[in-house]
Amino acid sequence: MRLREWKFAFDDSGSEHIVTDIRLYADDGEKIELEFKPVCVPVNGDLQWEDWNCYDSIRVYKTDYDKLLLSSIQSVFPVVDPTPNSWGLQEEFDLTSMNFMSRADWSRIIEALLNRSNTATDQEKEFFDLFIKHLRSFMEVSDCFCIEGNL
């Protein structure tokens, strides 16, 4: 398993967060990824790009998410977008855009991943353990979450 952490600043305010790239089977050159992140829901309800890009996040690349994560994520859909500018019911997971979800949906993903890890190899279990640890830590800072794809 390979990890890379880097700091990301989205404006000149000095605000930074850490993005962790995690790869098990994915080639170092892969660019297509899913980014998992908590959302900072603004008091005024006007959700902006910065609100789902202000906390630490974790990225998983296509080979790994296809092999290890996608079936668990898809199993919780449909979900209702819990954000103030809600898109309403999201019938299926969208690999090309943002997928907002509630704490309950996030917990269901974690539960599905824990079940999936029961049949995993030792290396895959290490991947799942680290990945689930990040997802759980996000629940300490928010009740709203986003999985954003760039396919």
Per-residue pLDDT reduced to its tens digit, 106-146: 999 999 999 999 999 999 999 999 999 999 999 998 888 99
For all residues of the chain together, what is the average pLDDT?
Answer: 89
The model's pLDDT over 76-91, given as tens digits with 9 standing for 90+, comes to 999 998 876 777 899 9
- What is the helix, strand, coil percentage profile of the chain, to 5? 30, 30, 40
Report whether the peptide linkage leading into residue 78 is cis, meaning its omega lies within 30 degrees of zero.
yes
Distance CA 8, CA 53 (A): 9
Give the burial class of 133: count Cβ atoms within 10 A of its Cβ; 0-12 exposed, 13-18 middle, 19 or more buried. Answer: exposed
Query: Which residue, chain included where needed, has tokens 């296509």?
Result: 62
Task: Name the residue range of residue 27's domain.
Answer: 2-149
Using DSSP, state whether 134 is helix, strand or coil: helix
Distance CA 70, CA 131 (A): 13
How many domains, in total, are found in the chain?
A: 1
The residues facing 58 across adjacent strands are: 20, 36
The model's pLDDT over 101-117, given as tens digits with 9 standing for 90+, comes to 999 999 999 999 999 99
Token pair recorded at residue 17 = 């967060």
